[in-house]
Structure 1
Amino acid sequence: MPIRIQEKDFDISAEIAALRKGDPRVGAVVTFLGAVRDMNDGSQVKGMTLEHYPGMTEKALQEILDQAQARWDIYQTLVIHRVGPLLPEDQIVLVVATSAHRGEAFAACEFIMDYLKTAAPFWKKEDTPAGARWVDARVTDDAAMARWSKKSI
Structure 2
Amino acid sequence: MGLPDVAWLTSTAWAKPTLALLFLWKTTGFAIIILLAGLQAVPADVYEAAALDGASRRRQFWSLTLPLVRRSIAFLVVVQTLAVFQMFAEPFVVTQGGPYGSTTTSGLFLYNHITSSDLGTGAANSFLLVLLVFALSLLSVRLLRSRDE
Q: Is TM > 0.5 for Structure 1 vs Structure 2? A: no
Which structure's residues are more often strand, by fraction? 1
> Which structure: greater helix fraction?
2
Which structure's CA Rg is the greater one? 2
Q: Which has the higher contact order (CA 8 A, sep 6+)?
A: 1
TM-score (norm 2): 0.31
Q: Taking structure 1 as the reference length, what is the TM-score of the superposition? A: 0.31
